[in-house]
Structure 1
């Protein structure tokens, strides 16, 4: 699980294995291809990783969609990329403890 300041407070993110098929369907890529391409991640991959990470950590899907719409689209892509990268790293290799990121309000 990854914890980061997102929008208005600290939030948990966990892209759990049961959400991988949804991520693959939404992006049109297999999970290994997404992980291998994290340095060149597309916008949709980043957004879906964050939204599904919120859902995997317990957020209601509607709440996750609203948070993404409110906070992701209004901030620099670098912040979004770092958050998505940390979420995907946790899925692939385990917790990325010690790595912090913020998407401010």
Structure 2
């Protein structure tokens, strides 16, 4: 099975971002869009603020961060930040789930 996680520095530390199927269902519910439509919106700069915030928040939970802590991280490091700072992270998270890690990256961990 392909690794669909993404690891990146966010706010105060490096975190793993991961979507399980259950969290994709929750993301679809929160954003009102299917995962394909959501990816299209985010990749094409036609996203809502909620698309970005919920992508990051829910994938933090999927990566092992407690839900309350994920909420705190989003409130502190995403809500008031320029969109150009948080969109690339949301794109990377969604790309990892959509495409999996490139073989050379997955081999490194």
Aligned position for 1:8: 12
Q: What is the TM-score normalised by the length of structure 1? A: 0.85
Q: What is the TM-score normalised by the length of structure 2? A: 0.83
Quick one: distance in 1 between partners of 2:68 and 2:101? 26
1:56 to partner: Cα distance: 0.4
Specify every segment of 5 or more residues in structure 2 that has no aligned partner in the other structure, as ranges.
none
RMSD: 1.3
Specify every segment of 5 or more residues in structure 1 that has no aligned partner in the other structure, as ranges.
98-105
Quick one: distance in 2 between partners of 1:95 and 1:44? 25
Which of 72, 76, 95 is 2:82 aligned to?
A: 76
Runs of 4+ in 1 over 4 A off after TM superposition: none
* 2:37 maps to 1:33: yes
* 2:80 maps to 1:64: no
Which of 32, 37, 56 is 1:50 aligned to?
A: 56
Q: Give the SS at the match of 2:80.
A: coil
Q: Give the SS at the match of 2:15.
A: strand
Aligned position for 1:102: none
